[in-house]
Chains A and B, each alone.
Chain A
Amino acid sequence: MAAQTSHPQQDQAAKKPAVEFTPRDRFLMNNKLYQLWRFIVLNIKILKAVDHSKRS
């Protein structure tokens, strides 16, 4: 039951990717300690951006 398209799609696998997640990236994406650090950074980033925007 594979999907079929009458218009051939680009070979997505063959294209050289500009961004690729390495095993290290994947490890960091789910590393609790590192993600706690990112969570704090992201919150500060968003609060700073809220402050930076007009918010008139």
Chain B
Amino acid sequence: MAKIVIVGAGFAGHTAALYIGHHLGKKHEVTVVNKYDYFLFVPSLVWVGVGRMDPKKTIIQLEPVYRRKHVRFVHGSLTEIHPEPEEQFVVVKKADGSGTVRLDYDYLLIATGPYLNFDATPGLGPHTGNTYSICNLEHAVQTRDAYLEWVKRLETGARATFVIGTGHGTATCQGAAVEYITNIHKDLVRRGLRDRVELIYLSNEPALGDFGIRGIRARYKGRLVSSADFMEAVFRDFGIKWEIGKAVKKVEPGRIYWEDMNGNFGETRYDFAMLIPQFKGQGIHVKVLGPNGEDLHDRIFNASGFVIVDGIYGLPFERLERNPDAWPAVYQNPYYPNIFAAGIAFAPPGPISVPHTTPNGTKIAPAPPRTGMISGIIGRIVALNIIDLVKKGRMTHDERMSEMFAACVASMGDSLWDGSAVVIVVYPVVPDFRRYPNEEGRDLFVTHMEMGLSGAWMKALIHYTFMYKFHGYPGWRIIPE
């Protein structure tokens, strides 16, 4: 009987748990460890943050789902890994404060999601009272309350500046920030308050619509247009100002201090701000110990806490962008082949967007997104390989991000009557200039971008079908990640 431990129950971990539970749950011991007792559908937090969705609609209690899939659930946080062959166990600190639990494993999947590193930017984050975040449920609810408080003030005649974007030079998830600012725009229009608010999008992207994937180019009205041109048109249409290529250095009440790509320093004033922090891996909080207590942390995690897998690390960007095979294929740790990573937890070999260092040495380089669909796909690949290893003793699945298709539906108003969304279909996620020797390194027949009400319908469809899938209800496997 094999023992499989999955740490993390987000898009990657929960997807993997469903597959592994389905295939191995009855005959093998499958355990999921998660610091929350619920799965959170993060993409819908943009609606929670403007008060347009009940937070309860974004969560699924994990235990009942796992009971049906013959998966054991431990509510707690990973604190130690003992990876050497004679040990192979993890230590989990239980959430109820009743101490720790030791879990032995034959295969370990780390899918722990991001550590929100607010400390990388002084003054950033909800704990400071300066800026808000929509990266987890608690933050999204706080942000909603603060936003609705502002709405009350606007109704009494106040005017304000809202700044939405990224709070660090290497932050990612710009798509969520775009969704949030456009949803705020729509909500304020609906309330008749839009003219009282100046909306500013502040981002580390080198161009609008970069999204950490170097932007895209797609056919629109019969000609090739860039996502930068498209997003500029959207922002102009919505009356949203933008400040891009900026690394936020410090936040104080009412003032965001930044450095731009030319090394100029400046500030943006705000009354309400939602800025996404730098992401680190949860590995920074995990001890990796050998049989004699020796520190083996750097065999599993890199300095930022992400899991080292089968990618080629350390390549300069000029070589990395020409080598799609540098991206990991099976997400397996090279030192310990029975340890895998999925979703945000794995260490990417480098950025997808062209990185930039200012004359003052500040890095402005959006990190590659590994959320949502990408996380789900990687979770499935790793799960299928673990199932293969248990059943056949070898892996048969692999998919690099340079071979991966992704669809992104960026909500710009949730209403099914007059809402909107930009639908972006991109293939592959990481440009492959060998297969596609064009300027983009992407398949221009598949890559697509459009905006309209149908996008809002797509977004709603995605929310409900994915919530169905993540409940593990009958037929869940036919819904693609």
List residues of chain A with CB under 8 Å of any chain B CB: 1-7, 9, 12-13, 17-21, 26, 28-32, 34-36, 38-39, 42-43, 45-50, 52-56
Contact B407 A3 (CB under 8 A): no
Contact with A along B219-243 (1 / 0, CB 8 A): 0100001100110111011000111
CB of B243, distance to nearest CB on chain A (Å): 6
Which residues of A have CB within 8 Å of B269? 1, 3-4
Contact A12 B399 (CB under 8 A): no
Partner of B220, one of A4, A19, A28, A49: A19
CB of B384, distance to nearest CB on chain A (Å): 8
CA–CA, A46 to B269, complex, Å?
A: 41
Q: At the interface, yes or no: B397 with Cβ under 8 Å from chain A?
A: yes
Interface residues of B in 425-451 (CB under 8 A from A): 425, 427-428, 443, 446, 448, 450-451
CA–CA, A3 to B269, complex, Å?
A: 5
Q: At the interface, yes or no: B145 with Cβ under 8 Å from chain A?
A: no
CA–CA, A17 to B396, complex, Å?
A: 48
Partner of B418, one of A1, A4, A28, A30: A30
A-B pair count, CB < 8 Å, reads 121
CA–CA, A3 to B270, complex, Å?
A: 6
Contact B241 A12 (CB under 8 A): yes
Contact A56 B267 (CB under 8 A): no
With A1-B271, A6-B266, A30-B452: A49-B427 Cβ-Cβ less than 8 Å: yes
Residue of A nearest to B448 (CB): A45
Instruction: Report the stretch among B78-86, B159-167, B341-349 that lies at the interface.
Output: B159-167
Contact B403 A53 (CB under 8 A): yes
Contact B200 A3 (CB under 8 A): yes
Contact A42 B423 (CB under 8 A): yes
CA–CA, A19 to B228, complex, Å?
A: 9
CA–CA, A3 to B420, complex, Å?
A: 27
Which residues of A have CB within 8 Å of B159? 1
Contact B458 A29 (CB under 8 A): no
Contact B453 A35 (CB under 8 A): yes
Partner of A38, one of B225, B241, B428, B454: B454
Which residues of B have CB within 8 Å of A28? 452
With A3-B163, A12-B241: A36-B271 Cβ-Cβ less than 8 Å: no
Which residues of A have CB within 8 Å of B128? none
Q: At the interface, yes or no: B340 with Cβ under 8 Å from chain A?
A: no
Partner of B241, one of A3, A48, A49, A52: A3
With A2-B161, A3-B200: A53-B458 Cβ-Cβ less than 8 Å: no
Residue of A nearest to B231 (CB): A19
With A2-B198, A19-B225: A29-B404 Cβ-Cβ less than 8 Å: no
With A12-B241, A19-B230, A19-B233: A52-B453 Cβ-Cβ less than 8 Å: no
CA–CA, A49 to B443, complex, Å?
A: 10
Contact B451 A52 (CB under 8 A): no
With A1-B271, A45-B425: A52-B242 Cβ-Cβ less than 8 Å: no
Could you give 23 example pairs across A and B, Cβ below 8 Å? Answer: A1-B198, A1-B269, A2-B161, A3-B270, A5-B243, A6-B267, A7-B260, A7-B266, A12-B232, A12-B236, A17-B229, A17-B236, A18-B226, A21-B237, A29-B452, A30-B453, A35-B452, A35-B454, A38-B450, A49-B405, A49-B427, A49-B446, A50-B405
With A3-B268, A5-B267, A29-B452: A42-B405 Cβ-Cβ less than 8 Å: no
CA–CA, A26 to B236, complex, Å?
A: 13
Contact A54 B457 (CB under 8 A): no
Contact B233 A1 (CB under 8 A): no
Contact with A along B353-373 (1 / 0, CB 8 A): 000000000000000000000
Residue of B nearest to A30 (CB): B453
Contact B230 A39 (CB under 8 A): no
CB of B165, distance to nearest CB on chain A (Å): 12
CA–CA, A9 to B448, complex, Å?
A: 30
Kindly list 4 other residue pairs between chains A and B, CB separation below 8 angstroms, not including A35-B454, A48-B446, A56-B396. A3-B198, A4-B269, A12-B232, A42-B450
With A3-B268, A5-B266, A21-B233: A53-B198 Cβ-Cβ less than 8 Å: no
CB of B447, distance to nearest CB on chain A (Å): 9
Contact with A along B161-197 (1 / 0, CB 8 A): 1010000000000000000000000000000000000
CB of B267, distance to nearest CB on chain A (Å): 5
